[in-house]
């Protein structure tokens, strides 16, 4: 049995962080109902539908107008039997709708109410809308990313969003454990800025000791040299020499006796000090060899090394295939697509991708019947534009 089987989640979130959380919960067995306005999650059109299809797996869709009192009443009836209430609005919005934590808790004291926002539920920035790139900027992450003296660089994927979704799922799992022992629910507050700050981790501690901001080092790092991406005969490769033992092995692989015997490069501190001299010398040597030869030889020495892959190369990589990290599914709108599989493996209760991302309002009637509405009630709600039932609903092939 999946760990979250029997847990019912009302997911009011859009964008990435909240939906990613709901998807993670769904992959472990939770019944996640994605609650959308009649016009749908505003991220549905992004990337021709790829965004929504990738991030709303293992959910059902209920399309309802929350500004209509009848729509709000539908949600309040669902709250009575729900375990988790997941929302990602600017603080105060759900209160205005009468769906804030205190209101929901009055109906169901055992509810686990998780709020995902840009800046958290308190503080001077609480009313700002949250965006991944803003959190990267305001946490110091972007200031520490990019080439030295080059332009600032955003991380290529929405990692702060996804990380916040992971923290939210983690918090919900902990709250479910707490409720099992105490029989009480609680409010969870997660934010993009807190996630990004937590990822600056040792840099913040280092600043408290030295007063120094992290340098921008491109693909490298301040604590070791050589530790960066190099060009080879055919493609770029990352090489990380973390210890003097690695330096010895690296020089043996490339037959760099003269460099190994140079006192300037004998220690990591020396290599850091003389980086401007050492790196061009290494780059000249590395371009003589193929990436596959280098990676094979360095891996035998235990030296970190990796080719710089494109997404197109990732999805056909045999290791990724053997890890079952990419899964083909039949999407009701896009046809056959590839999506990420569940990234964590539980030996006794593994999660799964068991349904595609739903089309807007795909499960409206189904969910309302479960909530106690009759077919006649639902027909009237559809006629009055309180809810939407998509006529093109299809099951998971």
**Which residues are marked as active site?**
161
**Of 138, 163, 143, 139, whose CA–CA distance to 153 is shortest?**
143
Cα–Cα distance between 105 and 112 in angstroms, integer?
9
Over its C-alpha atoms, the chain yields an Rg (Å, rounded) of 25
Cα-based distances in Å from 214 to 8, 70, 207, 218: 43, 53, 8, 12
- How many C-alpha atoms does 47 have within 13 Å on its Cβ side? 8
Q: Contact 305/293 with Cβ under 8 angstroms?
A: no
CA distances from 33 to 19, 114, 356 (A): 11, 15, 13
Cis ω before 226 (30° cut-off from 0): yes
Token pair recorded at residue 3: 């760990």
Distance CA 53, CA 362 (A): 14
């Amino acid at each position: 049995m999946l760990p979250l089987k029997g847990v019912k989640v009302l997911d009011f979130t859009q964008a990435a962080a909240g939906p990613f959380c709901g998807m993670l919960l769904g992959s472990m067995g939770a019944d996640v109902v994605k609650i959308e306005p009649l016009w749908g999650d505003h991220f549905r059109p992004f990337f021709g539908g790829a965004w929504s299809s990738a991030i709303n797996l293992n959910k059902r869709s209920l399309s309802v107008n929350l500004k209509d009192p009848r729509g709000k009443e539908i949600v309040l009836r669902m709250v009575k039997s729900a375990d988790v209430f997941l929302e990602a609005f600017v603080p105060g919005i759900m209160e205005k709708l009468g769906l804030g934590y205190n209101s929901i808790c009055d109906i169901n004291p055992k509810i686990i109410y998780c709020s995902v926002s840009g800046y958290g539920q308190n503080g001077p920035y609480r009313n700002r809308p949250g965006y991944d790139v803003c959190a990267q900027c305001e946490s110091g992450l972007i200031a520490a990313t990019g080439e030295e003296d080059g332009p600032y660089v955003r991380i290529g994927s929405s990692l702060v969003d996804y990380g916040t979704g992971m923290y939210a799922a983690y918090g919900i799992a902990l709250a479910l454990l707490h409720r099992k022992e105490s029989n009480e629910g609680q409010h969870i507050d997660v934010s993009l800025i807190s996630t990004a700050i937590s990822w600056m981790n040792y840099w913040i501690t280092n600043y408290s000791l030295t007063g120094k901001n992290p340098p921008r080092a491109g693909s490298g790092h301040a604590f070791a040299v050589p530790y960066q991406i190099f060009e080879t005969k055919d493609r770029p490769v990352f090489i990380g020499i973390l210890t003097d033992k690695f330096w010895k092995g690296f020089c043996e692989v490339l037959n760099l006796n003269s460099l190994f015997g140079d006192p300037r490069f004998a220690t990591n501190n020396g290599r850091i000090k003389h980086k401007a001299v050492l790196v061009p010398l290494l780059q000249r040597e590395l371009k003589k060899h193929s990436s596959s030869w280098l990676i094979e030889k360095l891996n035998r020495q235990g030296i970190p090394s990796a080719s710089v892959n494109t997404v197109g190369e990732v999805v056909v990589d045999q290791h990724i295939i053997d890890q079952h990290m990419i899964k083909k599914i039949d999407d009701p709108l896009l046809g056959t697509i590839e999506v990420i599989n569940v990234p964590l493996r539980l030996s006794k209760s593994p999660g799964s991708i068991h349904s595609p991302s739903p089309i807007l309002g795909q499960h409206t009637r189904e969910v309302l019947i479960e909530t106690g509405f009759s077919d006649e009630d639902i027909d009237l709600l559809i006629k009055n534009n309180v809810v939407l039932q998509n006529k093109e609903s299809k099951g998971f092939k």
